[in-house]
Chains A and B, each alone.
Chain A
Amino acid sequence: MYAQMVKTGVEHIQSKEEMSPEERAFQDRVDADIRIEPKEWMPEAYRKTLIRQISQHAHSEIIGMQPEGNWITRAPTLERKAILLAKVQDEAGHGLYLYCAAETLGVSRDELLEQLNSGKAKYSSIFNYPTLTWADIGAIGWLVDGAAIMNQVPLQRCSYGPYSRAMIRICKEESFHQRQGYDAMTKLARGTPEQKQMAQDALNRWWWPSLMMFGPSDAESVHSAQSLRWKIKINSNDELRQKFVDQTVPQAEYLGLTVPDPDLKWNAERGHYDFGEINWDEFYQVIAGNGPCNRQRLRTRVKAYEEGQWVRDAADAYAAKKAARAQVKAA
């Protein structure tokens, strides 16, 4: 999940009676699954929460380019290189759609990037882990994109039109990413003993951080309840995490790899896998900026942005000169 623990600024959930007529009309539309479009009235808290959520998602796409980008020049074949480059390129594209969706809510891409660069905005905890071997690229496609899809498929039906439409485009590409990740893992798992070891090691390192992507249990959270009510969140974190585990464990078995959780077992009564306790201390540390790569990721992003300033300035200056010349010509 690329947006974690999004605050709504709401202290309690209003009943319909407590709502103003505008708020009530809005909630009725949401309840009736009618999409909210940019120019329509919406509660300020809804607008602000969506900006937080969409921008967090966009930032995750942009920061997420780094761990995978780390292996583009070292991809092992021309085809793998092309696939990986195309995937990271898709992530830049996803970032663009999402910044555009956020812009419909009255905030500019520059403002959002400023929040990212200053360290004020959050992005998914998962991208603060390092990609140490080629197998990590397969594991990210399989697990990280797999987890992202769990969350994003339901969001195709979310209440905000531009976000929902961005999700529809993104999901098409994400499912391709997940397939290529699993395909890369399959090659490794069926390869030489060293390759199989590489695949197992990647699963060991990415499994728990992938489960953390869904965020802590939010059964009691007023923010989650409000977001569910607004239909900008469709399922609880625990529901999605369970669905992910149920889907992924058989895939690992098929690859002949072992999920690094001694407590993992099928629970016939529940019809789900039981799994072990997640290390939430680690999660909160990563969120607080203490993950293995937080500083590196942010510094790399800021460096690219700052070093590109003169290029963006030049493009603006050139466009202005060109427009002025066209005006002189027309006069």
Chain B
Amino acid sequence: MNQQDALFEYLLRLGDNALILGHRLSEWCGHSPALEEDLALSNVALDLIGQTQLWLNLASEVEGKGRDADKLAYLRDGRDFRNVLLVEQPNGDFAVTMARQFYFDAWHYLLLRELAGSKHPRIAEIAAKGLKEVTYHLERSRDWVLRLGDGTEESHRRMQTAIDDLWMYTGELFESDEIDQAMAGEGLGPDLATLHEPWLGLVRATAEEATLSLPEPGWAQKGGKRGIHSEHLGYILADLQFLQRAYPNATW
């Protein structure tokens, strides 16, 4: 794989994480526990859709084959998607959505903070913009982990279950493969393993304050970054891509 292909793949990962998580959050609109949450979840989803456009358009430029952000989002099949497994997990109840969000936000925040110092000026620019948004996302999802963990007995039980169930999808976030290593080698992105300790620190402190216990480190589910997804992604794409697939070559 040459440098350009590696960079393209790397940008797809960033774009696809935002695309798929934004999609999941947008499923909540109109169905959340309170109007304030309809507003807030939509805000986060909108930020992520915006980030998707920036990353995938940059990926498109790097690839140079005329596939713009929409073509990349709407005309690839699941095996070509590069998001981590965590973001495609179903919304579940509000605790699952918030636990997923918190695990992701904590990592996303640390990642963008590093990428804001990337040697690639466009990556640095997009990351710096995203970092402002994600700082707020993290504040919010952390707050919900606290409220639900240390709320009622029921909310504690639900949040603990969510924290446990999603744990096995967090390992993939810190695993570097040859693409991550190539990017790190060029100073374009961080060595993902270095994000693990600060992430654990943040997650541990939050869990403790929320009276939750974190699972022991264990087997990590992996594969999303290489296009080996869960069964859930196919349904997301069936939904997301329906119009583009049913009416090829139409503009909207």
Contact = CB atoms under 8 A, between A and B. Distances in A.
Interface of A: 62, 65-66, 69, 72-82, 85-86, 88-89, 92-93, 95-96, 99, 134, 184, 187-188, 191-192, 194-195, 300, 303-304, 307-315, 317-318, 321
B31 A85 contact: no
A80 B252 contact: yes
Contacts of A195: 247, 250
Q: Which A-B residue pairs are the 9 nearest by beta carbons?
A: A308-B33, A314-B151, A314-B155, A311-B33, A89-B42, A76-B243, A76-B252, A65-B30, A69-B30
B252 A82 contact: no
Chain B's interface size range is 35 or more
Given A77-B74, A315-B147, 19 more contacts: A72-B27, A73-B26, A74-B239, A76-B74, A78-B53, A82-B49, A85-B45, A92-B29, A95-B35, A96-B35, A191-B250, A192-B249, A194-B247, A308-B33, A313-B152, A314-B147, A314-B155, A318-B146, A318-B147
A317 B151 contact: yes
Given A73-B240, A81-B49, A310 B152 contact: yes
B29 A65 contact: yes
B70 A78 contact: yes
Interface in B146-202: 146-148, 150-152, 154-155, 158
Q: From DSSP, what is the main secondary structure of chain A's interface residues?
A: helix
B244 A76 contact: yes
7 contacts: A76-B243, A78-B69, A85-B42, A188-B252, A311-B155, A313-B155, A317-B151
A81 B18 CA distance: 14
A246 to B, nearest CB: 30
Interface string B39-51: 1001101100110
Contacts of B252: 76-77, 80, 134, 184, 187-188, 191
Interface of B: 19, 23, 26-27, 29-39, 42-43, 45-46, 49-50, 52-53, 69-70, 73-74, 93-94, 146-148, 150-152, 154-155, 158, 239-240, 242-244, 247, 249-252
Contact of A89 (B43, B50, B148, B151): B43
